[in-house]
Structure 1
Amino acid sequence: MKPLPILAAVLTFGVALTVSSATTSAADGPLVYKGEEGPGAGTKVVLIAGDHEYRSEETVPALARILAKRHGFDCTVLFSQNKKGEIDPAADDIPGLEALKDADLMVNFLRFKNLPDDQMRHIDLYLRRGGPVVGLRTATHAFKMSGDSGYGRYSFQSKEQGYEGGFGRQILGETWAGHYGKNHVMSTRLDLNEEQLDHPILRGVKNPWVEAGGYWADPMPNSTTLAFAQPLQGMTPDSPPAEDKEPAPGAWVRTYELPWGPADSNPGSRRVFTTTYGASEDLRNDGFRRMLVNACFWAAGLEEKIEPDMNVSLVGPYQPNTFRFGGHVKGVKPSDMAGWDTPIPPAGDAKTD
């Protein structure tokens, strides 16, 4: 829906005053980071945050800023929000999902969402047309739909024939399979698969390490593992491997097929990159951050544009909170992170509820 003339004038005036940031954010609209120039110019990415523990509301806008500012992608960032329009990881309401209608890539970092049918419809239609997906951490169990939902097949425990394991298993390649390393005690080293070192997503990636504890994963047979997660007995990259834990798949690629086929004659790429990591603190690692940026290029069909020395540095102040349940900064609205220089996350109370 186009803005009213007066509102359009106000928005235009506001953008003129902040043209250096190249971003827009309406009070009740999505957070948009508008790319300027670069290999991703003209490519629209919709990034969705809404998990309870791993601070997706910090990871996702930080990733969007890199894609937009450094590489020219047009990034729309959506959050689960409460009735006040504040970011609320526990809320089952994500305004703005209609942005998926013309998106070239969806980045999903949700957990146990029970969205209303009119919102799930946009995700369903995006997948029916074969839109590519990047899934982070809890996206393997992104949905936990109620019994009266028309989209129960997306639930992480779905038993529907042809859609067992829901969105996680059928799209990303794995549903929730359990922890494989204790958070805040055991970090995780991601060992690159030597047989896949020529894959575009691994181009320039060195020594990826994440602060989040391990997740177990056994991806679908048509998945290709790019990195194996080795739980460590400590919170530094040089910590020794946990003696009782062998490496498990920690990042992989695949393509998906829906049982009912695409909704139209343009099925898209169906490309998927999944990692069982992506907590806000994980993004501080250069190797892991490069892997995520490369994955977005690859999923969107831009693998030829991936350079091993691409700029993947963070944009603006980034000081992630230690992830935990109830640890999000309270009272934040998407517009609080507009621009390149506003802090992510905004300053505020991040004490446990």
Structure 2
Amino acid sequence: MIMPTRRLLGALCALALLAAPLAAGELQMKLRFQQETEPQSGQYHRLTRDEAWQPEKTAIIVCDMWDLHHCQNAVLRGQEFAPRLNDLLKQARDAGATIIHAPSGCMQKYADHPARKRAEQTPKAADIPADINAWCHKIPAEENGTYPVDQSDGGNDDEPQQHAKWAAELTAQGLDAHIPWSKQTDLLTIDAERDYISDKGDEVWSILAQREIDNVILTGVHTNMCVLGRPFGLRQLSKNGKNVVLMRDLTDTMYNPAAWPFVNHFTGTDLIVSHIEKFVCPTVTSDQILGGEQFAFAEDKRPHVVMVMAETEYETAQTLPKFGGDFLGRDFRVTYVYGSATDPNSLPGLEKALATADVLLISVRRRALPAEQLEAVRKYVAAGKPMVGIRTASHAFGLRGKEPPEGTETWEEFDAEVWGGSYSNHYPNGIKSMVETVEANAAHPILRSVTREPFPQGGSLYQTAPLADGTTMLLAGKIEGKPAEPLAWTFRRADGGWSFYTSLGHKDDFTNKSFQRLLLNSIYWAAGLEVPNHFDLSKPAPPQRKG
């Protein structure tokens, strides 16, 4: 058996785990799901709910963690998280949970294994769903969304030379390079006394029925294919009434970044996880059972950008997610936080998102927030972390001095303290302004590939002068016969952190390639990454298919 070891030693050394104690014998689970902000909006709050599961009423299904795969990168990623998965299985098993190993197509290898015989000998349940032995390619809820990645090429992300070499190695061992697996990886222990082995939907359903199990965790590979679609996968269990969840940090996808939407491999996984949370079932993470930190792949170095949108005038709840989807998936992990449709003074999911944010982008207009939400923003800023603001972010958390609603707070000094600006008003909407480069600062990386020629602003010109000490003005807005106004600048805050703000951000600005490049550059700059010299701002349309 070929055992590529790149990353494996590092992963093993990193897995010094602190076990999470079981409270009163229960698994304390935090289920993450997404809920539409309002019907037909296409925008989703990312929320969590707490559940206490009895271990003996819980099963973990390990999907297709094969010994080998035709994609070498898939093998390497699986080997990287397998040690943590093995630790999780041991702890869950010892607590009383049922472990079902499901290496599809490998049952002959385990014909005489006690765990396989235990599955075969399980009495057939009386309520086996009619189609439980079939692949499930889509459930009705998924009709409400477009499948987020194109996997029609099989999702192999090996480099061509790497893949050819890997196929030759497999063939040299007498294996079928297209289907080289024969068993589950030896990095996972199968307990002969307690576990089950099955790849059959009716067997798995019967095991769950016999043991009176309603709570099921799916882990393994690959999320966009087998984990979702197998007869024992997320779709079948969800549509047939099981309380099923995906363990989102101990999984992987078959996604090739050369295919639409042309994003980082790990972003491809995030997109599938998001699709699952919206339309199939909630997700959980391994630290909820093991303690410590949730698993992350060593090569996943994407900074986490959190975009907060709560304004109605400029439609950034539509323009920013499209911008993020088009341009940020290659190098960033992006989370979207929307204002509540029922409570104008709430940003559901904000605190959780900010806990791991590396860049915070604000597009909010005059919102008071619950104390805990505003405190999360204050804490993020005070830590010296980078901020990016557009348009109404200058008056994001101020009510012009009005008393905030009961239970909420404002931050009237937000503009001065976070952006270094002095927003006072804006010129009438009918008066057009031109955007010009501040030539003294034209070499700033945020202006890289932004036109040096004046261009029209999409909305009204904000009155933002004077700027505070510590600012560097990059763009100015000009109206004939009026003083120029600062339009885009950086600011070194008192807490030591950096901010970038621009009063651009009208929906028409998002169609302007210079604004697109300005905003893109500011996010790279804020994240501490090199601003690209070249970036393709034309995105091919998604394939005409769903599912």
**Does the 8 A contact of 2:311 with 2:365 survive in 1?**
yes
- Which residue does the alignment assign to 2:345? 92
* CA displacement 1:274-327 (0-9 Å, x = unmatched): 00111222110001110110011111111xx2123222345759xxxxxxxxxx
Among residues 75, 78, 82, which one is paired with 2:341 in the alignment? 82
* Aligned counterpart, 2:311: 51
What's the counterpart of residue 324 of structure 2?
64
Answer yes or no: is 1:294 the counterpart of 2:521.
yes
**DSSP-derived class of the 1:82 partner:** coil
Give the equivalent residue in structure 1 for 2:448: 203
Letter of the aligned partner of 2:509 in structure 1?
D
Letter in 1 for 2:441: Q
Contact 1:204–1:308 (8 Å) recurs in 2: yes
Offset, 1:130: 1.1
Tell me the distance in 2 between the aligned counterparts of 1:127 and 1:120: 11
Q: What whole-Å deviation, never above 9, does each CA across 1:142-181 have from its counterpart, x for those lacking one?
A: 01361766744x12xxxxxxxxxx111110112431112x
**2:88 corresponding residue in structure 1:** none
- Aligned-pair RMSD on alpha carbons? 3.4
Query: How far, CA to CA, are the matches of 1:11 and 1:112 in structure 2?
Result: 45
Cα 1:209–1:150, aligned 2, differ >3 Å: closer, same or farther?
A: same
Higher share of residues assigned helix: 2
Residue 210 (structure 1) shift? 2.7
Q: CA deviation at 1:107?
A: 0.2
Post-superposition, which runs of at least 4 consecutive aligned residues in structure 1 deviate over 6 A? 10-14, 339-342
Residue equivalent to 2:363: 109
Would the aligned equivalents of 1:210 and 1:285 in 2 still touch at CA under 8 Å?
A: no
State the AA in 2 paired with 1:42. Answer: R
Q: How does 1:1-353 map to 2 (within 5 A)?
A: 2-3=30-31, 9=218, 15-16=224-225, 22=268, 23=271, 24-25=274-275, 26-27=277-278, 41-69=301-329, 71-83=330-342, 91-97=344-350, 98-144=352-398, 146=404, 151-152=409-410, 154-155=411-412, 166-180=413-427, 182-183=428-429, 185-206=430-451, 207=453, 208-218=455-465, 219-231=467-479, 243-258=480-495, 270-302=497-529, 305-313=530-538
Distance across 2 between alignment mates of 1:220 and 1:340 = 50
Letter in 2 for 1:226: L
> Aligned partners of 2:526, 2:544: CA distance in 1, in Å?
25
- Given the two structures, how large is their TM-score scaled by the length of structure 1? 0.67
Q: Which residue type is aligned with residue 223 of structure 1?
A: T
Counterpart of 2:347, as a letter, is I
For the 8 Å contact 1:48–1:60, the answer to whether it is kept is: no
C-alpha distance in structure 2 between counterparts of 1:136 and 1:114, whole Å: 18
Whether the aligned pair in 2 keeps the contact of 1:46 and 1:76 (CA below 8 Å) is: yes
What percent identity do the matched residue pairs reach?
A: 26
SS in structure 1 at match of 2:348 = coil
C-alpha contact 1:64 1:77 (8 A) present in aligned 2: no
The normalised TM-score by structure 2 is: 0.45
> Which letter does structure 2 place at the counterpart of 1:272?
S
Instruction: In structure 2, list runs of 5 or more residues that go unmatched.
Output: 1-28, 32-50, 52-59, 61-214, 229-252, 262-267, 283-298
Q: Is the 8 A contact 2:473 2:488 kept in 1?
A: yes
Unaligned runs of 5+ in 1: 31-38, 84-89, 156-165, 232-242, 259-268, 318-338, 343-353
**Corresponding residue of 1:266:** none
Distance 1:316 1:216, change over 3 A: farther
- Deviation of 1:221 after TM superposition, in Å, equals 2.5
Contact 2:369–2:408 under 8 Å retained in 1: no
Number of the residue aligned with 2:72: none
Give CA-to-partner distance per residue, 1:56-101, whole Å, 9 cap, x none: 21222123213433x3200001110224xxxxxx722211112111
Distance 2:220 2:313 in 1: 34
2-structure distance, mates of 1:314, 1:209: 24
Please tell me the residue identity of whatever aligns with 1:309.
H
Whole-Å separation in 1 of the counterparts to 2:315 and 2:470: 30
Report what 1:235 is aligned to. none
Inter-CA distance 315–40: structure 2 relative to 1 (3 Å threshold): farther
Aligned equivalents of 1:125 and 1:307: distance in 2? 30
Relative distance call for 1:7 and 1:91 in structure 2 (3 A) is: farther
- Name the CA distance, whole Å, in 2 between partners of 1:40 and 1:285: 31
Partner Cα separation in structure 2 for residue 126 and residue 199 of structure 1: 26
Q: Which has the higher contact order (CA 8 A, sep 6+)?
A: 1
